[in-house]
Amino acid sequence: MIDLHCHSIFSDGTDTPEALAALAEAAGLRALALTDHDTLAGLERFLACQPRVSTELVPGVELSCRYLGRVLHVLGLFVDPGNPAFQARIEDMRERRVERNRLMVERLQAMGVAITWEEVAALAPTDSISRTHFARALVKHGAAGSPQDAFRRFIGDEGPAFVPLRDLTPRDAATWIREAGGVSVVAHPGRFSHRSFRWEEAMADLKAQGLQGLEAHYPDYGPMEHRYFLELADVLGMVPSGGSDYHGGHKPGQHLGVGTGSLHVPDGVLDLLKGLRRGETV
């Protein structure tokens, strides 16, 4: 069993990279990828655990993109965190995130929610601040009843206080990832848009833009959706990747490897990803 998607305190998870590596070992995972949002900051500490754990630790990232006017996440697996061009591109994303976060505070204040930058920053364990921390801050401030309520009323993808991150296209994300030695994967396509969105054409388009895999195994999927994405990956010749998207305490009930209990990403996916890096096809 492997898990190719999780988050640490360097984005919006609650576990340190060291804790994630130890949890992976305890769960008996053959491999774990750390895929924090738009940052490589946790990877050095994560990879430094490698001699101590038998789980293969895979460097990754989850890039926030825009596609068809919506948020689309693209995972980069096996990216080289020491690649200078990639680091510069990610630094640009980080600056844009800081700017975006300031704009979101202004939007909330304009809506009559007197929340401050300090209140939001206080809830983030590192200087990487995401909407997850905004959601917590809005609850603490008394403006929302729960994080879900905060997303629904204020900061969700359709919310009035949401400001998107920079307009990174999936094509550019795929190029950045390839040039950093990694494999690009469309993250949780089932969470994109409404559930009835038909992916055939859009995924073929993304493949033509350079995306090499899609998350076919994901905790939120029902049996039909799981089968649908496995078949889509098969038909298009894309890697059927997958992972728990574990965020620690920010997503209660989700565990590394097994998700909510029934997730199982086959070990063979790892070999397919490594094959792609060597220039093989799926």
Binding site for ligand AMP (CB under 6 A): 12, 37, 64, 130-132, 148, 151, 156
Q: How near is the Cβ of 33 to ligand AMP at its closest, in Å?
A: 15
Pick one of ligand AMP, Mn ion, none as the site partner of residue 136 (Cβ within 5 to 8 A by kind): none
| Interface region with Mn ion, contact rule CB under 5 A, candidates 152-160, 208-216, 219-227, 237-245 | 237-245
Q: How near is the Cβ of 161 to ligand AMP at its closest, in Å?
A: 12
Q: How near is the Cβ of 246 to Mn ion at its closest, in Å?
A: 9
Q: How near is the Cβ of 247 to Mn ion at its closest, in Å?
A: 6
Pick one of Mn ion, ligand AMP, none as the site partner of residue 131 (Cβ within 5 to 8 A by kind): ligand AMP
Pick one of Mn ion, ligand AMP, none as the site partner of residue 50 (Cβ within 5 to 8 A by kind): none
- Which residue number, 3 or 245, has a Cβ lying nearer to Mn ion? 245
- Which residue number, 165 or 270, has a Cβ lying nearer to ligand AMP? 165
The reply on whether position 36 binds Mn ion by CB under 5 A is: no
Residue 62, both tokens: 């989850």
- Which residue number, 12 or 15, has a Cβ lying nearer to Mn ion? 12
Q: Which of 4, 9, 10, 12 binds Mn ion (CB under 5 A)?
A: 12
Closest residue (Cβ) to Mn ion? 73
